[in-house]
Amino acid sequence: MPLLIDGHNLIGKIPGLSLADPDDEVELVRRLQRYCRHHRRRAVVVFDAGVLGGRSGALSTPEVEVVFAPAGRHADDVIRERLRKIRDPAGWLVVSSDREIQRIARQAGARVVSAEEFVAEMRAPPSAPHEKRAPRMSEDEIQEWLDLFQKPRRARRERKG
């Protein structure tokens, strides 16, 4: 399920990131890329006004599309428009703690998760892959294998000697 993320809203909820930091968007995008690769998801992250507005070719990757609201507009406006244009909003998860964005997303039919809940998911340790364990052998089976493989060595040593 792809994600539609209110970028600055999410930054404000991540420990160690600050909206006052000029590199906050880049750091969030880096973390989202890692998350999306690990979970095999795609995301669109929308930030408030950038210099030019629109899609950022410099920050976007196959996993994470980065969009800046054009001058005079807000990320909320871009998110609202995206939700209207999405063919299947029920297949999307909107990440924001902004109650208005949550309301709009629900009205469009999208699923919603708060920024705090998403941060907790991002910070959760990756689940360990299911380990396949070799079947346990009985002591008799172990001895049978040892006898099977040790006998030829003894025979070879006796022939050499």
Count of domains observed in the chain = 1
In a domain, 87, yes or no: yes
Instruction: Report d(CA 79, CA 104) in Å as an integer.
Output: 9
Predicted confidence (pLDDT) per residue in 13-58, tens digit: 999 888 888 888 899 999 999 999 989 999 999 998 765 565 565 6
Predicted confidence (pLDDT) per residue in 56-100, tens digit: 656 778 889 999 888 888 999 999 999 999 999 999 999 999 999
Q: Which CATH number do you get for residue 109? A: 3.40.50
Whether the per-residue pLDDT at 146 is higher than 80: the answer is: no
Q: Which H/E stretch holds residue 35?
A: helix 24-39
In a domain, 155, yes or no: no
3-state class of 47 per DSSP?
strand
Q: In whole angstroms, what separates CA 124 from the centre of its chain? A: 11
More confident residue, 58 or 109: 109
In a domain, 91, yes or no: yes
Whether the per-residue pLDDT at 144 is higher than 90: the answer is: no
pLDDT confidence of residue 71: 82
In a domain, 37, yes or no: yes
Whether the per-residue pLDDT at 131 is higher than 50: the answer is: no
pLDDT band of residue 140 (cuts 50, 70, 90) is: confident
Whether the per-residue pLDDT at 3 is higher than 90: the answer is: yes
In a domain, 47, yes or no: yes
In a domain, 15, yes or no: yes
Angle between helix 75-85 and helix 99-108 axes, rounded to 10 deg: 10
In a domain, 146, yes or no: no
In a domain, 150, yes or no: no
Q: Which of 21, 3, 4 is nearest to 12 (CA)?
A: 21
pLDDT confidence of residue 156: 52
Domain range enclosing 82 = 3-123
Select, from the ranges 25-34, 52-61, 126-135, 138-147, the one with the highest average predicted confidence (pLDDT): 25-34
